[in-house]
Amino acid sequence: MGEHPSPGPAVAVCAEAERIEELEPEADERLPAAPEDFDPGNTGYISSGKFRSLLESHSSKLDPHKREVLLALADSHADGQICYQDFVNLMSNKRSNSFRQAILQGNRRLSSKALLEEKGLSLSQRLIRHVAYETLPREIDRKWYYDSYTCCPPPWFMITVTLLEVAFFLYNGVMLDQFVLQVTHPRYLKNSLVYHPRLRAQAWRYLTYIFMHAGVEHLGLNVVLQLLVGVPLEMVHGATRIGLVYVAGVVAGSLAVSVADMTAPVVGSSGGVYALVSAHLANIVMNWSGMKCQFKLLRMAVALICMSMEFGRAVWLRFHPSAYPPCPHPSFVAHLGGVAVGITLGVVVLRNYEQRLQDQSLWWIFVAMYTIFVLFAVFWNIFAYTLLDLKLPPPP
C-alpha cells in the first residue's frame, strides 16, 4: 500500500500554503486573519476565483480525485467567497462539516467517472477502493479516502486484539488440555481474566474477559468478524474511534451482565464484536442507496444469521447444566450490551467520517446515556447485591 502516494492540498499549493497558519483541532474557533494575498480586506473570506486559479495552477501536483472535490468546493459558493476557515482546513488536509455541506449543496456535479469504474489499478489500490466502497456511503468521501490513505499507521488495534485473543486461547487450551467447549472444564473459571460475580470488585475483569473464550467455535466467529468488519472500519475511521466503540461495547457487555444476569460469569469478545458489526449494519441500512458494496442484502443476511447462531449458542450454553455448580455457564447478555453500543455511539462514529464528533449533538446525547448507564451499573454492583440478598456462587 506504500505504492499509493497521497499528496494533500498543503503539498499542492506549496509556497502559498507555507504562509498559512495551520490550526490545531483545539484552537480558538474564531476566524484567523488571512494573508493579504488571499484576504486583502481581512474579512475572513477569500475569493473563490483566487482559490480556483490556485488549484488549477498546481493541478499537476494534486491527486485527480482531490482536485475534483476541491474544484467542486470552489464552484459551490454562488456568492463567490469561501470561508477562510475552510481554506485553512484544506491547507491542513482537514475537512469540516461546512466543507462537506458546501459540496453536497453545490451547483456543480462531480464530472469524472466513479472510482469503481477506474481501470489499471494495482492490488493495493484495488484493496483501498474495496474498503472505501465497503464502509463509506458518499462518492466524495470514497474518493477523498482513496487519495488520502497511506496505511500509516496500519490497522494495528483490531489485529493486536485478535492476536492476543488467539494467544490466550491457545495457552489456556494447552493448560486445560481442551480446545472445544473449554468453558465446560472444571478449572476454566479459575483464570484471573474471567469476569466472575463473586470477584466483581476486581475491576480489570470487566475488560480482560475478552481474552477468554468458551471454545474454538466461540473464538472462531469472533475472530472472523473482527478481521472482516473491524479491520476495514479501522482503516477508514482510525484506531482511536474504532477502539473506542469496541472497548465501550466490551465494558457495556460485562456491566449489562452484572445488572441483568447477576449470578453468571462472562467470557469472550462478543460485546466488542457485536458493537462494531451492529454499527456497520445499521450504517448500511441508514445509507442504503449510497452504499455500493456488492451483494449487500445477501451479505447482511449472512451476517445476521451468523450473529443469531452465535447468540443462540450462547443462550443454549447459559442454560445448559453447569460443569461447575452452583455457578452457571457464562452469560449471553454481553452480546446485547454490545449491540446497544453499536446502534448508538457506533453509528454516530461511522456516519461522521473525518468530522469532529464533538460537533455532533447526537454524539453528546449518546455519551451522556452511556455515562449514566455506567454510573448506574457501578452503584448497582456496590449496593444491589446486598440489598437483594442474592446468593452468589462461591469463588472459583
Active site residues: 270, 335
Residue spans of beta strands (DSSP E) within the chain: 45-47, 81-83
One-letter-per-residue 3-state SS of 129-180? HHHHHHHCCCHHHHHHHHHHCCCCCCCHHHHHHHHHHHHHHHHHHHHHCCCC
In sequence order, the 6+-apart residues with CB closer than 8 A to the CB of 12 are 55, 58, 61, 62, 66
Angle at 208 between CA 206 and CA 214, to 5 degrees: 100
Grid cell in block for residue 222: 469472533
Q: 314: burial class by Cβ within 10 Å (0-12, 13-18, 19+)?
A: buried
Distance of CA 253 to the CA centre of its chain: 17
How far CA 117 is from CA of 129, 135, 146, in Å, comes to 11, 18, 14
Q: Measuring CA to CA, which residue among 129, 334, 159, 124 is closest to residue 239?
A: 159
DSSP string of 64-86? HHHHHHHHHHHHT-TTSEEEHHH
Rounded to whole angstroms, how far apart are CA atoms 130 and 259? 41
